[in-house]
Structure 1
């Protein structure tokens, strides 16, 4: 088996490294990066074409009003800079050797700053080798090839945030090695295969080290051909598809000896656990319509999801396990207004049902695209239902307005 694996790697390398000629003016977009781009940003190319640098920024400013059905909780008005990102990408020496850097500065992006811990501003820091337009190899930190909505940039969403299932089940960013193979044609069956071997502890993790790695594999199919302008990388029908387009994908992720409740993020566990994630996605776009359906699941191969503090057994930390589905549909009008609806359900594993509720979310949104996803106004109303094992009222709703702008 080991010999077969080595031969396979050598075969893939021979294909990749044997086809090194391609147009130096080829776009620097990389399928493995979680970015949405409109236009070329602010670019600098040296006179001798030795290097290229593109600079981009984006920010999301929002205001939210929260109302709780629990009479003990008062309404809340929240104003925040949800995201403030700065991005650099380009190549050095040769267009086949690329780099990508993304930094975050908003409070929610950086997270809680703890004394003695690193400031968590680095989101992406990747070095790539792209020998041709099909193959890409990368080393560094970026998003793993997970579910569709998580891989999409937060700046390419129809609504102001991702679903409740993405908040709990995604695999997000990690440090490691990634490889991608794409075979894309607009009018023919197309596909992509992606893989990653990573640390499993998430972005900028410096607390502990172990030999447990995370392994991710993903396949993507385009039965009716690729979408216009890489239309799977952004939500909504902002690019008119003359013919129906379908996207199907499946992901398997194994995280050995995970030390956090959700693998790459979450509270620290008292004992490590082996985690498994499964994702499935369906995207349909035709003319002004867009539809998305997603399935997400996390389990552990260990007998118990709950870990206990050996010094105080009353203190617990647990793997967030369970499953959920998202259903999302939209229609874009000729004046660039878009009406969106989303329904999500989430069921937690029975071992953690006494600590976490099952949940449902109903959302209606209205977005005005001024400059595609790069400059847009978004309004949203969401209602959240929570079903606790013990009697506890957890329902709430919110109204939100958000402005996004970037280059």
Structure 2
């Protein structure tokens, strides 16, 4: 499998660089994970008089208040800036040569600064070569072509955050080279192929280096043609598809000799482990209705790693599987109701350290300017089942305001 994926990556990369630019490039509306914002507008744009370069500037901000009620803990609330992002993109010299930069400034994005760790301000920094509308090559740090909800921007979500399975099983940003073949048509069967070869160590990582790589391959199928305005990159049918539109996708990821508990993210392992992830997604939209479902699975060669100098200290790969189901309806008044149910089951070897979880979420969103300006409310209830036959029941209520350009 790994040699097959490597071959696909190399072939796509070679074709991308050698492809003759037969198709005109009318704009920079790239269908890439490297462009993680929902694109209702184009931001603030600057183009030089001779059209040698173009710069688009965008920002977005999420402010939220959350009330938590958790067993064995005091009830509490949190008020915070969850996300504050600044993005620049455009081209230099020719629209075939593009760039994207995204910086993050909120505490939840940057994380706790610890001695020896890098500051996590840089989220995306990639150069893109696009010889025509179908082929693209990306070099730098950005999202890998993983599960649907992870590829979607956090600003394009219906609920205030992604699912518990996305939090545990997703593949994150990484540094490497990606090759995309985009073959989309709004009225007939379409497909996309996306591949990546990356370091496997995550964003802004310089603490260690090795000769291992991570390999990713993904295929997206559109049996009835593509969605309006790249509608598979944002949740909810806010554009009210006149005809049913369906996306089916699958992705495989292998992180060779990974050194972190969740591949590109998480704590450091005491010894390396090869991590394999599998994703399947389905998205259906029609006349204001939207249904999404996802399957995620992670396994590893060494689930539990021990400190060689002290066997009482250990760390483990978060391995297991999960399912998400999400249904929503957007009323003509631009109010939306959303329901989500998630199940998460960990591998038997690590059940003693972490619970199986079920989560039920109900939300309402008021779209003021589509996903670029919206008000969101959500209540989520979680059931945590531990291996010692104990359980905890937790819930939270959250209000969030999203705004951006």
TM bucket, shorter chain: over 0.9
- Structure 2 residue 364 is the aligned partner of structure 1 residue 362: no
Which consecutive unaligned segments of at least 5 residues does structure 2 have? none
Rounded to whole Å, the distance in 2 between the matches of 1:147 and 1:93 is 34
Greater displacement, 139-148 / 387-396? 387-396
What TM-score do you get using the length of structure 1 for normalisation? Answer: 0.95
CA distance 1:51–1:352, change in 2 (3 Å): same
CA distance 1:111–1:142, change in 2 (3 Å): same
What TM-score do you get using the length of structure 2 for normalisation? Answer: 0.96
CA distance 1:92–1:368, change in 2 (3 Å): same
- Structure 2 residue 27 is the aligned partner of structure 1 residue 26: yes
CA distance 1:387–1:235, change in 2 (3 Å): same
Partner of 2:55 in structure 1?
53
Rounded to whole Å, the distance in 1 between the matches of 2:8 and 2:216 is 21
Which consecutive unaligned segments of at least 5 residues does structure 1 have? none
Rounded to whole Å, the distance in 2 between the matches of 1:80 and 1:12 is 42
Map of 1:204-353 to 2, 5 A cutoff? 204-300=204-300, 302=301, 304-353=302-351
Please state how far the C-alpha of 1:40 moved relative to its aligned partner.
1.2
Partner of 2:379 in structure 1?
381
**Conserved in 2, the CA contact under 8 Å of 1:346 and 1:359?**
yes
Map of 1:81-96 to 2, 5 A cutoff? 81-96=81-96
The superposition leaves residues 311-336 of structure 1 with CA deviations (integer Å, 9 ceiling, x where unpaired) of 10000100100000000000000110
The superposition leaves residues 81-116 of structure 1 with CA deviations (integer Å, 9 ceiling, x where unpaired) of 000000000000000000000000000000110124
CA distance 1:141–1:11, change in 2 (3 Å): closer
Rounded to whole Å, the distance in 2 between the matches of 1:286 and 1:213 is 40
Rounded to whole Å, the distance in 2 between the matches of 1:242 and 1:349 is 43
Partner of 2:120 in structure 1?
120
Rounded to whole Å, the distance in 1 between the matches of 2:55 and 2:12 is 33
CA distance 1:271–1:245, change in 2 (3 Å): same
Rounded to whole Å, the distance in 2 between the matches of 1:80 and 1:404 is 13
RMSD: 1.7
Q: Does the residue aligned with 2:338 lie in a helix, a strand or coil?
A: strand
Map of 1:121-200 to 2, 5 A cutoff? 121-200=121-200
Rounded to whole Å, the distance in 1 between the matches of 2:211 and 2:278 is 23
Aligned residues: 400
Greater displacement, 383-392 / 75-84? 383-392
Q: Does the residue aligned with 2:344 lie in a helix, a strand or coil?
A: strand
Rounded to whole Å, the distance in 2 between the matches of 1:89 and 1:224 is 31
Q: Which runs of 4+ in 1 moved over 3 A?
A: 5-18, 21-25
Rounded to whole Å, the distance in 1 between the matches of 2:127 and 2:16 is 20
